[in-house]
Chain A
């Protein structure tokens, strides 16, 4: 069963004060997220990521389309007991302590009274807020609020977790901890859907990603497939600082770093390059196909026209 099935959700806002005109925030979106995967929803600021998440959470109503979450209609309030949600730049009742906040959310999520305290303590420990559980949230830093936000999202042991920009406001250590937490959630069999514009996080974590730009889905794919795409070039690394003259004739771009040389050249010149190195009795260290980074794909998709992007980059499943 798919964890999330988005079936043509779209959103158009009416903007302007006197003369209202439609502004499309999200084009009809079709997307499926499988159970147990970490799915990255990527796009620059204002791409429509948060609008999509808000529609799935029932905070914003779609102009058209529907969705299914864990096999149920997404409008069914009871399904939300199995969902966790971290909004972007979360803000909470600042007169509450972290413990009180989580207890309140536990009540609203239907966590039984007998289990609540144990669950609250457990998630506080998990996000590293145990020592300040009695501190009012008005005294929390941005990073601590983000941790409290993550805690409330996983408090009721949901099957599916939505994180909107979960790394926002966190220092490098905090970001690492959140990445580890997301990995743990996956190992526990949970589905994680998170939006981000930090591509290194997505590349490190996600099984699959979708790229959205200007409210339009530009493509969906497995990170492994995307980053294994060979660009028709190879990277050759050898010992020393010597660059054989024939290398330049083969069209290689060479860079000397310390006592190694790194050359990038067309894939069809790979054998000729190896021969040239043998002739000069130079020690070859490695030959690897040059892989495309997620960032390169992301930029490419953003620059492509919507139609071209759709043709070259698979379906939304």
Chain B
């Protein structure tokens, strides 16, 4: 069971690498080096803040785009190209296939994030000439970004299990945008009354809370972060991912592969 999922995951990773997905790292490196040199020349005293903000935001956006565009094709492409037939005609359960695909994409994004993180620290070293203790908080922000990727991957996979790639991309992207403003949605819910309040509150809890996972600004401003936040975000992301993956499995288990 576990070996089969690992094999599917490693094949998904291999596909991403051979499809030149990691080439985005080159664009990222160019963007960050250019920004670091540019910021180093025009900013006074806030180079560090700008580089952290820019670098981590780029890590997040690059990853989200990859997660959505690979995630939406993970299942639908296999059905469309009929590559799934020769996988599911082996002793592979449908849920193993879904979880394996998810792990493969999550692994791809983790490797991608690792290399981009090196880029962020490199740019930071270039503008600051040294690391300081609060820079360790960048690791926390990166960890939260990876948690964000897990949620997006699982959502893309969920949509991919029943919808076309285009619609899946639209759904996943909309959820990412709405989720990024989930704090505002919660605030809005408290200001409304009656059925609107009920709907707004339900929507606020249903969409992924990416606001809580976004600590880029806090890290750039060297604000301390408690371990309870790390634990809380970890549990939230794992729960949300598990729910979305379960939904994907439930739908996929019943799907006829015509």
Interface residues of A (CB under 8 A from B): 13, 54, 57-61, 77-81, 83, 85, 87, 89-93, 95-96, 104-105, 107-110, 149, 152
Which listed residue (B3, B11, B86) contacts A152, Cβ 8 A? B86
Nearest residue (CB) in A for B87 is: A108
Q: Are A92 and B83 in contact (CB under 8 A)?
A: yes
Q: Are B85 and A87 in contact (CB under 8 A)?
A: yes
Which listed residue (A13, A58, A89, A105) contacts B86, Cβ 8 A? A105
Q: Are A105 and B82 in contact (CB under 8 A)?
A: no
Which listed residue (B7, B19, B86) contacts A107, Cβ 8 A? B7
Pairs A–B under 8 Å by Cβ, sample size 18: A13-B256, A57-B88, A59-B88, A60-B257, A60-B258, A80-B89, A80-B90, A80-B92, A83-B89, A85-B85, A90-B82, A91-B83, A93-B11, A95-B19, A107-B3, A108-B90, A110-B91, A149-B86
Residues of A within 8 A of B87 (CB): 108
Nearest residue (CB) in A for B254 is: A61
Nearest Cβ in chain B — how far from A10, in angstroms?
14
Q: Are A57 and B82 in contact (CB under 8 A)?
A: no
Is B18 part of the contact surface with A, judged by Cβ < 8 Å? yes
Q: A13-B258, A61-B256, A87-B89 known; 13 other A-B pairs, CB under 8 Å?
A: A57-B89, A59-B85, A59-B88, A60-B256, A77-B92, A80-B92, A90-B82, A93-B15, A93-B83, A96-B14, A105-B86, A108-B90, A109-B91
Nearest Cβ in chain B — how far from A59, in angstroms?
4
Q: Are A80 and B91 in contact (CB under 8 A)?
A: yes
Is B221 part of the contact surface with A, judged by Cβ < 8 Å? no
- Residue tally, chain B, CB below 8 Å to A: 26
Q: A60-B258, A77-B93 are in contact. Are A95 and B88 (CB under 8 A)?
A: no
Is B81 part of the contact surface with A, judged by Cβ < 8 Å? yes
Q: A59-B257, A60-B258 are in contact. Are A91 and B89 (CB under 8 A)?
A: no
Bound complex: CA of A105 vs CA of B8, how far in Å? Answer: 10
Q: A85-B85, A104-B7, A107-B3 are in contact. Are A54 and B257 (CB under 8 A)?
A: yes
Nearest residue (CB) in B for A100 is: B14
Bound complex: CA of A275 vs CA of B4, how far in Å? Answer: 75
Q: Mark B156-193, 1 if CB is under 8 A from A, else 0.
A: 00000000000000000000000000000000000000
Q: Which of B90, B93, B256 has the most CB of A within 10 A?
A: B90
Residues of A within 8 A of B7 (CB): 104, 107-108
Q: Are A108 and B257 in contact (CB under 8 A)?
A: no
Nearest residue (CB) in B for A81 is: B91
Bound complex: CA of A107 vs CA of B83, how far in Å? Answer: 16
Residues of B within 8 A of A105 (CB): 86, 90
Bound complex: CA of A13 vs CA of B257, how far in Å? Answer: 12
A-B CB proximity, top 10 nearest: A85-B89, A95-B18, A59-B257, A107-B7, A87-B85, A57-B89, A80-B91, A108-B90, A60-B256, A81-B91
Nearest Cβ in chain A — how far from B6, in angstroms?
9
Bound complex: CA of A77 vs CA of B81, how far in Å? Answer: 23
Q: List B residues 63-89 near A (Cβ within 8 Å).
A: 81-89
Residues of B within 8 A of A58 (CB): 88-89
Bound complex: CA of A53 vs CA of B64, how far in Å? Answer: 39
